[in-house]
Amino acid sequence: MTMANQKKYTDIGTRLKALRLAKYPDMKLKDYAALMGVGYTRYINWESGLNRPQPNEAEVFCDKLGATLDFIYRGIEAALPQNTLKDLSESPLLKAQRMSSETPD
């Protein structure tokens, strides 16, 4: 398996991490995974980009964090609530991701 295949969900993982850090910056990963109702290893695999949450699992993030499936899976911020947008606007992870996607090849 190539490195590209190993981390094919990196963008989703970056958005999940940005949501986590925006809402619970001081919470330990293990506690955060428990709050989201998933196992620690499962969550780490999502955030690292190895796997992605299924829609029913991602809905938990939507319900608890004010996210949308469009944001989690596709990076579309337009439908996010204003308070979530505000929290994410300070995310260095998302700023870096936006800049890298705007850089010409």
Q: What is the pLDDT along the chain (105 residues), one digit of tens a residue?
A: 455 555 789 999 999 999 999 999 899 999 999 999 999 999 999 999 999 999 999 999 999 999 999 999 999 999 899 988 888 887 776 665 655 555 555
Q: Is the whole-model pTM more than 0.85? A: no
Closest to 51 (Cα-Cα) out of 7, 84, 11, 15: 7
- Identify whether the C-beta of residue 25 lies closer than 8 Å to the C-beta of residue 91: no
| Correct CATH for 3-102 of 1.10.287, 1.10.357, 1.10.260, 3.30.70 | 1.10.260
